[in-house]
Chains A and B, each alone.
Chain A
Amino acid sequence: MVTPVSPIYFAKSQLQFLIDVLRHRGYSVVGPTVDQEAIVYSEIQSIDQLPQGWTDEQAPGHYRLKKRDDESLFGFVVGPHSWKKYLFPPKTTLLSAERTESGWQFITRSADTTKFALLGVRACELAAMRIQDQVFLDGPYQDPLYRERREQLFVIAVNCTQAASTCFCTSMKTGPRCEKGFDLALTEIDSGFLCEVGSERGREVLDVFVNLARRASEGTSVVSNTDNDNVISPSIDDATPEQLRLAENARQQAVAQITKHMETSDLPGLLLSNLDHPRWKDVGERCLSCTNCTMVCPTCFCSSVTEVRDLNMDRVERERTWDSCFNPDFSYLGGSLVRNDTASRYRQWLTHKLDGWHAQFGTSGCVGCGRCITWCPVGIDITEEVAAIREGASP
């Protein structure tokens, strides 16, 4: 149990010290950055790599990077990447085997020592991680790579201060407020950040960070005091009531901007009891079966495992790659495709995500991040499909 600490306030530029502290402790810090005309996640060393002054405009099948009229560092929502690429990488070698004179020698993967610190994890993404924890860690078969990376993970959450038209975390009860599952959580206000602590590990890092930042700012405040007589507010301290109020307003702004809704009162149940609904055929005609929605979804966990060998059969590697229920080959069983048309594949995705997932893991498989809506090339909207099934549903 973490003893509560009142939120700390620090100025924007101080965030660099937090990155420095984490890097000094051996973390590879990954955070949002602008690349390929979008905000993606990638390793960063400096706050200069954050998307300062950028935002995203999102709608079904539509994403545009836009300039903001302020210098916010986290003034955007979620993008095409999700953090799952760090815990459940798109491609992994699970095992290899080599032919030796005495037979096949199996070489297990050596333990992964990469320590990731994720900067900028949103509330829906924290919820997605909890879901993937269940998938990969609960039950008798744990995923070792996921476990190794997860145990070492340091999470700096960021509370959303705005929402996209595709967000519906409030329907899924996953956000926008970051409540648990982080080491530190930030809320950005005009001048700086409010920082809450969510774990012992978070507190330890915060202590080191605060000391470092204080020492540095004492140095600078001496200089600025000689330049002018104004009293300079400390750039790192316990948050004032005014700062707390500003942070709460900023978070409320995100709540107020959420317009998308998914009714969940009849989920699970609705979809699995309407397997013959005409809407499946309708969406099957629009859907490309391209897999994009499942690839961007932060909870989808399907993969394929293939044995890849060299031509001389001296070495074999067992590779695991992200796969999807929208890939026709994924349902190849016993010599034929079990789901041989797009409608049945779309139905598989929706019924698993929103219905079967409850029986399997005790939660919904959807956290309301809206990625599948934005990144569907033809803009198919999961919330609209559910609503359409509800209309004319069998009781």
Chain B
Amino acid sequence: MPRKPRLAVFKFASCDGCQLSLLDAEDELLAICDRVEIAHFAEASSDLQPGPYDVALVEGSITTEEDAARIRRVRADSKFLMTIGACATAGGIQSLRNWGQIDEWVQSVYPSPEFIRTLATSSAIADHVLVDFALHGCPINHHQLVDILVALAEGRQPRVPSHSVCLDCKHRGTVCHVVARGIPCLGPVTQSGCGAICPAYDRGCYGCFGPSQPANTTSLVSQFRIHGHSPEKLVPLLRSFNAAAPEFQHASEQLVILRPSNEGCRS
């Protein structure tokens, strides 16, 4: 029997929710441990073994000089590097700082700002090192994560669809909010992964799983404008967990140009 792949989990700027989904996969956890050796996973065990690793799961974005250096070491130590979640894949909600002045933010948020040393931006892991696979979601879908880990152990292709949330809405029989209620919904430009939960509960999609393939935000946003939605409403919709994903960023910046007052939303 071939050696089990060695798995490591690394955290950067993030809330830990994505790594926790690995622990949440209670039913599958033992079977995963049969197939992979968990060598480094601080959230689960203090026994942190050194590299090299076969697979590194990277959660979180790069927001400090130290982390920018650390991700290069992780890359050097890992054969296959996979980002998990919106922070690692697109910069996360914390990339909202990219549109502000970092010094002002630090001054207004922290009681002792002199202790804070940070970069002006929150950036995706792929902006720093080569990423072999990106798993989207805020948080990720643990079924997808388990499938990828097993696929890696078995040497087959993982099954992670890149189509829009709309396909899942239609499978469920959910009536489209954009068409039937005029609600702005990011589903047509968002990758599937959640099973279209929000539309099934009377909300538009918030875009947790990031841009789909393709993500024609230009066409969708101009339709929302025809429906009478203002940039004041649409910019925050586009600027959430995946604000800095290129397709969403581009669309929100186009809208900012249209805003009568662009206060608080510099770009």
Contact = CB atoms under 8 A, between A and B. Distances in A.
A287 B171 contact: no
**Overall SS of chain B's interface:** helix
Interface in A368-395: 374-379
Contact of A36 (B161, B175, B214): B175
A116 B146 CA distance: 38
Interface in A36-58: 36-38, 40
A288 B31 contact: no
Contacts of B178: 61, 377
Contact of B166 (A81, A91, A295): A295
B219 interface: yes
B202 to A, nearest CB: 8
A316 B150 CA distance: 15
A306 interface: yes
Nearest to B223: A378
A274 interface: no
Which one of A80, A81, A296 has the highest number of Cβ atoms from chain B below 10 Å of its Cβ? A80
B170 interface: yes
B214 A289 contact: yes
Contact of B214 (A291, A306, A328, A377): A328
B170 A329 contact: no
Contacts of B166: 290-292, 295, 377
Contacts of A40: 173, 175
Interface centre among B28, B174, B176, B219 (most CB of A within 10 A): B176
A35 B31 CA distance: 42
A37 B176 CA distance: 10
A286 interface: yes
A289 B176 contact: no
Most buried by B among A306, A311, A328: A311
Given A311-B146, A377-B188, A378-B220, A328 B176 contact: no
Contacts of A311: 28, 31-32, 146, 150
B54 to A, nearest CB: 19
Interface stretch (A202-210, A218-226, A238-246, A319-327): A319-327
B1 interface: no
A374 B216 contact: no
Interface residues of A, number: 43
A106 B122 CA distance: 52
A113 interface: no
A377 to B, nearest CB: 4
Interface stretch (A4-12, A14-22, A62-70, A252-260): A62-70
Contacts of A292: 166, 170, 176, 188
Contacts of B220: 288, 377-378
Interface in B27-64: 28, 31-32
Contacts of A287: 216, 219
A81 B161 contact: no
A224 to B, nearest CB: 41
Interface in A337-357: 341-342
A375 B166 CA distance: 11
23 contacts: A36-B174, A36-B180, A37-B180, A38-B180, A61-B223, A80-B175, A80-B179, A81-B173, A90-B171, A288-B189, A291-B166, A291-B167, A292-B166, A292-B170, A292-B188, A311-B31, A321-B171, A327-B167, A328-B213, A328-B214, A329-B213, A374-B179, A377-B185
Interface of A: 35-38, 40, 61-65, 80-81, 85, 90-91, 285-292, 295-296, 306, 311-312, 321-324, 327-329, 341-342, 374-379
Given A90-B171, A91-B171, A288-B219, 5 more contacts: A80-B176, A81-B173, A289-B214, A290-B188, A378-B223
